[in-house]
Amino acid sequence: MYHSRDEGDIFLIDEPELHLNWSLELKLFEYFKYFCQSFKKQIIAATHSTIVGIPPFISLTTFLGRRDGKIIASQVMSNEMQEELLGKSIRLASSMTASAKLAIYSEGNNISYIEKAISMYAPALKESIKVVDELKDKTSIEQLAALFKHFQSISLPTPILFVWDCDAENKVNDLVEGNNVFKYVFKQNPKNTHITKGIENLFPKTYFLGNYYKNTTDGYGAKIQKFDKQAFQKNMLTKATVRNFVLFRPLIQRMRAIIK
């Protein structure tokens, strides 16, 4: 596309995001933005990417749709397009408004820990808080950030709190709360020098010494020990105590503050 930039002003692309992971997809659309603005070009793309529904791309995009047999151009994404691009997340957010006072979105592995913390520290709020677990395969740091931005644009009546691990802090610093959308990033536990990132960092270091590691081999056939997250999670949830979940208390306090 770059090398043919002088051959035309409009470029047609079919599903450019196909087979790309989320971070590469985002970088691709950032390049499209740079290309169009730098060389005064237009791109017409058939896409299923959710990126066009978040800032800054949504304000730069003209959406094409059919109405009464005609193709209509609009600066606003129609309800049909929202359903097509962000369907499941939109339906979940809309359906929870009647019963929940707060919805929680977090990275897939965090859901069970957060639910356990709520049951221990705020059991009275359990029925009022919906921890969304139907999107576990779409909750990377970047995908949650995209949902954060999109929910801000559609004005849902139920407050939504996005929760990230400590290692996401630098990646979500630019997200500004507003329009009933909030964020929380776990603080890193400096005492756990064995596991320094991920939600497992919130637990005492002594829990990891010699435990929850399994012998395996790397891509070169060398023997290594790999941390077994599933075994650790199963044990922590089974033997959960207020003491070993103490670093979840600030999150519970944040939930209470939002609900009030």
CATH topology of domain 96-259: Rossmann fold (3.40.50)
Answer whether 60's CB lies under 8 Å from 33's CB: yes
More confident residue, 55 or 107: 107
Per-residue pLDDT tens digits for 99-108: 688 989 998 7
Answer whether 146's CB lies under 8 Å from 50's CB: yes
Per-residue pLDDT tens digits for 220-245: 888 888 888 888 898 889 988 888 99
* 0.75 surpassed by pTM: no
Please tell me the number of Cα atoms within 13 Å of 87 on its side-chain side.
6
Joined together, the tokens standing for residue 243 give 């003491």
Distance, CA of 171 to CA of 78 (rounded, Å): 30
Distance, CA of 106 to CA of 56 (rounded, Å): 23
- Domain range annotation of the chain: 10-84, 96-259
The gap from C-alpha 178 to its chain's centroid, in whole angstroms, comes to 17
Q: What is the mean pLDDT of the chain?
A: 85
